Amino acid sequence: MDGHAATTGRGDDGLARVLGLLDVVGIVVGSVIGSGIFIVPATVALEVRSPVVMLAVWVSGGVLTFFGALCFAELGGMYPQAGGTYVYLREAYGPLVAFLFGWSLFLVVDSGAMATLSSAFATKYLPYFVTLSPLAGRLVTLAFIGFLVTVNYLGVRHGANLQNLLAAIKLAAIVAVVALIFALGRGSAANFVRPAAEPVTLGSIGRFGAALIACLWAYKGWEAATYSTGELRNPQRNLFLGLLAGCLLVTILYLATNLAYLWVLPAAAIAASPRIAADALAAAVGPGSAAFVSALILLSILGSANTNILTAPRVYYAMAKDGLFFARAGEVHPRYRTPHLAILAMGAWTAVLAMSGSFEQLLAYVVFGLWIFFGLTVGAVLILRRTRPDLPRPVRVWGFPWTPIAFLAATVFIAVSALATGPRNALAGTAIIALGVPAYLFWRARGTVPRENRPPSS
């Protein structure tokens, strides 16, 4: 992409470069802060038991997330195109690996995540306020998907405005929860240090690693901001600053929230709580807080789902421009300047998954493969430093090569752990990803898009 296109209103083949720094932060915050901070603290506490080690897990997760964001920022500065991770994998490993990532994203990962969120919205949390029959729950699920598809179809600016609004409300609500707990809760500073950390052994290291895996899943989602790079103004600057600011903000919020939980509940009580946010707030202000927490979770779900439909269709759009997806998914709406057919395709498949009820198991299957793709993307920084040393790098990873190596080590650990603890799920996920190979060969054989019409490699 030429430098002029990268900084003006013209994006990839008609996409509108209308997103700025705050939009990247909104995508990061809205995508990362979902249900994780309301569920994962109990898992972490159950594994490590000590509050000091609990906080160390969350700090470690934030640092590793920061390292990953640095790597993605360097790649985004080199390739300021729609598709983000797909483009980085294509340039480092070739079209097959990139296609398998996009295939997984469409078939299960983002479509399945959006199906999970829409179903949870309608059947798990909305019924706290409104009683719904099974049929009504399904209709609300479809309406939820249809609403988000419509907003994002009508323009990336509309989708980003909704994202920013939801992210701001979510941030304000979480800050309010923390403030209320500290202001009104009868807490104890002893909860921050007791029980003490156990001696360092292979067992304690393993438990720390298991807790870190859960923690990193709660941090996941920031990478979605790279998918929309083709619609960013000044993408090299805004992607870098947005990723770093968003990840830092999330880390601070996660630490503050965990400290608030510990202020009113000891580590053992956190480990035993299936609804830690509600229990901690109830300990501070009384049982009437459950409605507030439920509303906060509904907003978190809406923001996370909007991130999926706001960003992921840009990957399918990039695949189509490469001739590796349905050709019409690479079209841009003449008025709204969105990849409208890619958005509709994702919305339709999400609805199918939501109605089938099979999405949660599919998501469990592909966790193993997803972290493999994460590791490969960060590894692309190392590969492209060697194979394309001449390529301009407006952003360079700090602490190279140790920063990407540390993140790579974490992804390898997560993948190996997933394989060891759930080999059947890991193998099933690998099989789902491998189903993309014949699809790749089909589109490759058709050769629907001449190479000269595809996005440039530099």
pLDDT bin (cut points 50, 70, 90) of residue 94 is very high
What is the overall mean pLDDT for the chain? 88
Q: Which residues is 19 bridged to in the sheet?
A: 232
The dihedral formed by the CA atoms of 213, 373, 153 and 363, expressed in degrees to the nearest 10? -50
Residue 358's pLDDT is 64
Give SS3 for 232: strand
How many whole angstroms separate alpha carbon 235 and alpha carbon 219? Answer: 23
Other CB atoms within 10 Å distance of the CB of residue 133: 8
Give me the helices (H) in 266-399, please: 267-271, 276-285, 290-311, 313-321, 340-356, 359-387
Q: What φ, ψ does residue 332 adopt, rounded to 5°?
A: -110, 135
pLDDT bin (cut points 50, 70, 90) of residue 223 is very high
How many whole angstroms separate alpha carbon 216 and alpha carbon 411? Answer: 10
Residue 4's pLDDT is 39
Residue 204's pLDDT is 85
Q: Quick one: fold of 8-453?
A: Amino acid/polyamine transporter I (1.20.1740)
Lowest mean pLDDT among 168-172, 284-288, 433-437: 284-288
pLDDT bin (cut points 50, 70, 90) of residue 455 is very low
What are the percentages of helix, strand and coil residues in the chain, rounded to 5?
Answer: 80, 0, 20
End-to-end CA distance of the chain: 7
pLDDT at 357 over 80: no
Please give the model's pTM, rounded to 2 decimal places: 0.89
Q: Which residues is 10 bridged to in the sheet?
A: 16
How many whole angstroms separate alpha carbon 307 and alpha carbon 433? Answer: 23
Q: Which residues is 232 bridged to in the sheet?
A: 19
Structure tokens at 429: 């996920």
Give SS3 for 109: helix
How many whole angstroms separate alpha carbon 267 and alpha carbon 191? Answer: 7
pLDDT at 452 over 80: no
Q: Provide the phi-psi class of 263: left if phi over 0, else alpha when psi is between -120 and 50, else beta.
A: alpha
Residue 395's pLDDT is 92
Other CB atoms within 10 Å distance of the CB of residue 256: 17
Name 129's Cβ contacts closer than 8 Å, sequence gap at least 6.
291, 294, 295
pLDDT at 454 over 50: no
Amino acid at 435: L
Residue 371's pLDDT is 85
pLDDT > 90 fraction of the chain, expressed in percent and rounded: 60
DSSP 187: -
How many whole angstroms separate alpha carbon 245 and alpha carbon 292? Answer: 27
Other CB atoms within 10 Å distance of the CB of residue 139: 13
pLDDT bin (cut points 50, 70, 90) of residue 458 is very low
Q: Nearest to residue 22, comparing CAs of 254, 172, 220, 225?
A: 225
Residue 359's pLDDT is 62
Length reported for the chain = 458
Give me the helices (H) in 79-133, please: 85-93, 95-104, 110-120
Question: Once rounded to an integer, what is the mean pLDDT over residues 414-443?
Answer: 86
Please state, in angstroms and as integers, the Cα–Cα distance from residue 420 to each residue in 368, 417, 423, following that order: 11, 5, 6
pLDDT at 378 over 60: yes
pLDDT at 2 over 50: no
Which residue reads 């000091």 in tokens?
52
Q: Contact, 72 vs 377, CB < 8 A?
A: yes
Residue 12's pLDDT is 54
Other CB atoms within 10 Å distance of the CB of residue 393: 17
pLDDT at 109 over 60: yes
Q: What φ, ψ does residue 80 adopt, rounded to 5°?
A: -80, 60
Residue 98's pLDDT is 96
How many whole angstroms separate alpha carbon 110 and alpha carbon 86? Answer: 14
Span 28-77, pLDDT tens digits: 998 898 777 888 899 899 999 999 999 999 999 999 999 999 999 999 99
Question: Once rounded to an integer, what is the mean pLDDT over residues 100-124?
Answer: 90
Residue 348's pLDDT is 96
Span 379-399, pLDDT tens digits: 999 999 999 999 999 999 999
pLDDT at 1 over 50: no
Please state, in angstroms and as integers, the Cα–Cα distance from residue 335 to each residue in 312, 346, 411, following that order: 21, 20, 41
How many whole angstroms separate alpha carbon 227 and alpha carbon 86? Answer: 8
Q: What φ, ψ does residue 232 adopt, rounded to 5°?
A: -90, 135
pLDDT > 70 fraction of the chain, expressed in percent and rounded: 93
Residue 282's pLDDT is 87
How many whole angstroms separate alpha carbon 210 and alpha carbon 212? Answer: 5
How many whole angstroms separate alpha carbon 15 and alpha carbon 160? Answer: 14
Q: What angle (nearest 5°) sits at the alpha carbon of residue 355, between those of residues 350 and 359?
A: 60
How many whole angstroms separate alpha carbon 134 and alpha carbon 140? Answer: 10
pLDDT at 210 over 90: no
Residue 346's pLDDT is 96
Q: Contact, 392 vs 78, CB < 8 A?
A: yes
Q: Which residues is 186 bridged to in the sheet?
A: none
pLDDT bin (cut points 50, 70, 90) of residue 10 is very low
How many whole angstroms separate alpha carbon 202 and alpha carbon 210? Answer: 12
Residue 6's pLDDT is 43
Of 376 and 35, more confident: 376
Span 307-353, pLDDT tens digits: 999 999 999 999 999 999 999 999 999 999 999 999 999 999 999 99
Give SS3 for 19: strand
